[in-house]
Amino acid sequence: MEKIKFMSEEMHEEVEFFVLEQTMVNGVSYILVTDSEDDDAECLILKDTSAAQSAESIYEIVEDDVELTAISKVFEELLEDVEIER
């Protein structure tokens, strides 16, 4: 599994996640990440909010319930053996 590092602005430290899947919906890139490789690990859906020409991606946690539900369903279809609890 690919690992990705993020800089947390709130905690001012680097945080590592495992990338489970990536998708694009309506021109917006989303990634499904987890902090552990265990089967029952907690996951987050992150949304790329950076400008299209930006060299670095800026990801934010998807918090909008409607958006979260829709993107969760997309990831569940992509990862047939995964069920995302909301």
Q: 31 with 19: CB under 8 angstroms?
A: yes
Comparing C-alpha atoms, which of 43, 76, 47 is closest to residue 61?
A: 47
Question: How far apart (Å, rounded) are the C-alpha atoms in residues 65 and 56?
Answer: 27
Q: What is the pTM of this model?
A: 0.83
Q: Which residues pair with 2 in a beta bridge?
A: 19
Q: Which pLDDT score, from 0 to 100, does residue 23 have? A: 95
The residues facing 14 across adjacent strands are 7
pLDDT of 86: 67
> Tens of pLDDT along 4-46?
887 766 667 888 899 999 999 999 999 999 888 777 778 899 9
pLDDT recorded at residue 81: 72
Q: Does residue 65 or residue 58 have the better pLDDT?
A: 65
